[in-house]
Amino acid sequence: MGAQLRAVRRRIRSVQSTAKITRAQELIAASRIIRAQQRLHAAGPYARELTRAVEAVVSMSENVDHPLTRPEQDPRRAAVLILTSDRGFAGGFNANLLREAQRLRGLLSERGLETVSFVSGRKGITWHRFRQMVMAAEWSGFSDTPRQANAAELTQTLLDAYALPADQGGVDEINVVYTEFVSMLTQRPVVRRLLPLEIEESADLPPAGPLPSYEFEPSPEDVLDALLPWYVESRLFHALLESAASEIASRRRAMKSATDNANELVEQLSREANKARQAEITQEISEIVGGANALAGATRE
């Protein structure tokens, strides 16, 4: 009985130590999520204005024929950029994202396209290496604190691949898979086609109001040449910021759940320890009473 009690107490100490770690991780994530949200909101105005500028250039150009907006007539290869995390303890963050990437690969294969993987984040890199899946490029070390320079590096690599013909190792379209930050409780993996850009003709006014009237010098085409790479980089940077906020929020929720489960397990183990201790005390009392009865009987004899 004593060995059982000691084993339960050792397990209680172990679970309590785990709860301290998960609680610390939860507090760290809670302190970082505010900053991640602030960075995400701060990048919004620039992305919106840049989008409106691109829309204004396109709307004032009679014939838009740019390599980044011109779809390939016979596409053969498609790039898939996957934004995973560098660290774990984030619940189903990476599993859901990689599952969505696999679904996208299946859809591209049905269209007859060969997929080329570009992976950001150590978890995604490890996942692909374990399955011996070829990666065209990989990045890590900035999943929870992305910088503009990181987005610029990703953009340049993808644009270089997009500029090459498919028979020379290039790609005909680029898709990005990342986790969209909806709220502190909701984050969902999404797929966005990055290139070629989709141009839709519409007679309705944009939701943000009439487009600004620009005068272009030297020409709208030259302005579009300069704006579109910035536009792609802005979209990638916004996806990195959303992924970072989603990762931290997922980690906070996962660590809170782990802490709560650990505390519940400590309560259950404490009850087991109390029962074992009570049984031990009862057995000791029974042995004492039995010994006293035996001594009394021997005295009477």
Q: Residue 208 pLDDT more than 70?
A: no
Segment 213-233 mean pLDDT: 76
Q: What is the pLDDT of residue 206?
A: 56
pLDDT in tens, 158-204: 999 998 888 888 898 999 999 999 888 889 999 999 888 765 555 55
Q: Report yes or no: 114 and 76 within 8 Å, Cβ to Cβ.
A: yes
pLDDT at 63: 63
Check whether the bond before 218 is cis (ω within 30° of 0).
Answer: yes
Instruction: Give CA 93 to chain center in angstroms.
Output: 5
Bridge partners, residue 174, by sequence:
79, 195
Cβ–Cβ under 8 Å, residues 144 and 85: yes
Residue 116 has pLDDT above 90, yes or no: yes
For the entire predicted model, the pTM comes to: 0.83
Bridge partners, residue 289, by sequence: none
In DSSP notation, 173-197 reads: EEEEEEEEE--SS-EEEEEEEEESP
E strands, the chain, are 77-83, 114-120, 135-139, 173-181, 187-195
pLDDT (mean) for 150-164: 92
Q: Of the spans 42-51, 203-212, 217-226, 243-252, which averages the highest pLDDT?
A: 243-252
Measure the CA–CA gap between 174 and 118, rounded to whole angstroms. Answer: 10
Domain extent listing, the chain? 64-198+223-248
Per-residue confidence (pLDDT) for residue 12, from 0 to 100: 85
Residue 5: which pLDDT band, with cuts at 50, 70 and 90? Answer: confident
- What mean pLDDT comes out for the span 14-25? 89
For the domain with range 64-198+223-248, which CATH number is right: 3.40.190.10, 3.40.50.920, 3.40.1380.10, 3.40.50.300? 3.40.1380.10
Quick one: pLDDT at residue 212?
Answer: 61
**Residue 71 contacts by C-beta under 8 Å, 6 or more apart in sequence?**
172, 173, 196
Mean pLDDT of 125-152: 93
The chain-wide mean pLDDT, for the chain, equals 84
- pLDDT tens track for 254-273: 999 999 999 998 888 888 87
Amino acid at 111: R
What whole-number percentage of the chain has pLDDT above 90?
40
